[in-house]
Structure 1
Amino acid sequence: MDPFDLRFFYDDYPRVEESVQSVIGESLPTNGPDQLYDLVTAMELPTGARVLDVGCGDGSHTVRLGARFDVLGIDPVPAFTHPGRYAVGLASRLPVASAVADLVWCRDVLVHEPDLDEAYAEFRRVLRPGGRALVYQMYATPSLAPFEASSLFAAMGVVPANASVSRTAAAIAAAGLRVDECLEPGSQWGEHAGEAVAGRHLMHAARLLRAPALYQERLGRATYGIALGDALWHVYRMLGKLSPRIWLLSAA
Structure 2
Amino acid sequence: MADEAFLSRSYDAFAQVEEEYKELLDQSLSPRGPSMLYETAARLGLDPGADALDVGCGEGRHTLELAQRFGWRIRGIDPVQRHIDIARKDLADRVQAQPELDAVSFDLGRAEALPVADASMSLIWCRDVLVHVDALPTAFAEFRRALVPGGRALVYQMFCTDRIEPREAAWLLPTMGCVEQNMRPDHAEAAIHAAGLQIDECHVLGTEWGQYGEEHSGKGSRNLLHAARLLSDPDRYIQRFGDGNYQIALGDCLWHIYRLIGKLSDRVYVLSRPTGS
TM-score by length of 2: 0.87
Q: Is 1:161–2:181 an aligned residue pair?
A: yes
Query: Secondary structure, in 3 states, of the residue corresponding to 1:180?
Result: strand
State the match for 2:96 in structure 1: none
**Which amino acid in the other structure matches residue 63 of structure 1?**
L
Looking at structure 1, the residues matched to 154 and 181 of structure 2 have their Cα atoms a distance apart, in angstroms, of 20
Looking at structure 2, the residues matched to 62 and 72 of structure 1 have their Cα atoms a distance apart, in angstroms, of 7
Query: Secondary structure, in 3 states, of the residue corresponding to 1:30?
Result: coil
CA-CA distance at 1:12 after TM superposition:
3.0
Q: Is 1:187–2:207 an aligned residue pair?
A: yes
State the match for 1:71 in structure 2: 74
Q: Is 1:214–2:217 an aligned residue pair?
A: no
CA-CA distance at 1:21 after TM superposition:
0.7
Looking at structure 1, the residues matched to 270 and 73 of structure 2 have their Cα atoms a distance apart, in angstroms, of 20
Q: Deviations over 1:10-40 (max 9, x none)?
A: 2332332211110101001211101000001
CA-CA distance at 1:187 after TM superposition:
1.2
Note closer, same or farther for the CA distance 1:4–1:47 as it changes in structure 2 (3 Å cut): farther
The match for 1:129 among 149, 156, 168 is 149
% same residue: 47
State the match for 1:229 in structure 2: 251
State the match for 1:44 in structure 2: 45
Residues 52-67 of structure 1: pairs in structure 2 closer than 5 A: 52-67=53-68
State the match for 2:264 in structure 1: 242
Q: How many residues align?
A: 251
**Which amino acid in the other structure matches residue 6 of structure 1?**
L
Q: Is 1:110–2:130 an aligned residue pair?
A: yes
Q: Deviations over 1:40-64 (max 9, x none)?
A: 1000001111110000001000100
Q: Is 1:170–2:186 an aligned residue pair?
A: no
Cα RMSD of the aligned pairs, angstroms, is 1.6
Q: Deviations over 1:56-115 (max 9, x none)?
A: 001000100112211000000012225760010100011111111000000001000011
Residues 1-16 of structure 1: pairs in structure 2 closer than 5 A: 5-16=6-17
State the match for 1:142 in structure 2: 162
Note closer, same or farther for the CA distance 1:239–1:3 as it changes in structure 2 (3 Å cut): farther
Q: Is 1:199–2:202 an aligned residue pair?
A: no
Looking at structure 2, the residues matched to 51 and 3 of structure 1 have their Cα atoms a distance apart, in angstroms, of 64
**Which amino acid in the other structure matches residue 186 of structure 2?**
S
Query: Secondary structure, in 3 states, of the residue corresponding to 2:29?
Result: coil
Query: Secondary structure, in 3 states, of the residue corresponding to 1:138?
Result: strand
- Give the ranges of 4+ consecutive aligned residues of structure 1 lying more than 4 Å apart after TM superposition: none
Looking at structure 1, the residues matched to 176 and 29 of structure 2 have their Cα atoms a distance apart, in angstroms, of 30
Looking at structure 2, the residues matched to 3 and 122 of structure 1 have their Cα atoms a distance apart, in angstroms, of 62
Q: Deviations over 1:159-217 (max 9, x none)?
A: 11110101101110111000101111111112112342110011111221222233222
Q: Is 1:91–2:111 an aligned residue pair?
A: yes
Looking at structure 2, the residues matched to 247 and 22 of structure 1 have their Cα atoms a distance apart, in angstroms, of 35
Task: Tell which deviates more after alignment, 200-209 or 130-139.
Answer: 200-209
Looking at structure 2, the residues matched to 110 and 141 of structure 1 have their Cα atoms a distance apart, in angstroms, of 17
**Which amino acid in the other structure matches residue 251 of structure 1?**
R
Note closer, same or farther for the CA distance 1:36–1:11 as it changes in structure 2 (3 Å cut): same
**Which amino acid in the other structure matches residue 234 of structure 1?**
H
State the match for 1:19 in structure 2: 20
Give unmatched runs, 5+ long, in structure 1.
none
The match for 1:152 among 168, 172, 185 is 172
**Which amino acid in the other structure matches residue 43 of structure 2?**
A
CA-CA distance at 1:5 after TM superposition:
1.5
Looking at structure 2, the residues matched to 149 and 180 of structure 1 have their Cα atoms a distance apart, in angstroms, of 30
**Which amino acid in the other structure matches residue 222 of structure 1?**
G
Looking at structure 2, the residues matched to 200 and 4 of structure 1 have their Cα atoms a distance apart, in angstroms, of 37
Looking at structure 2, the residues matched to 166 and 208 of structure 1 have their Cα atoms a distance apart, in angstroms, of 34
**Which amino acid in the other structure matches residue 76 of structure 2?**
G
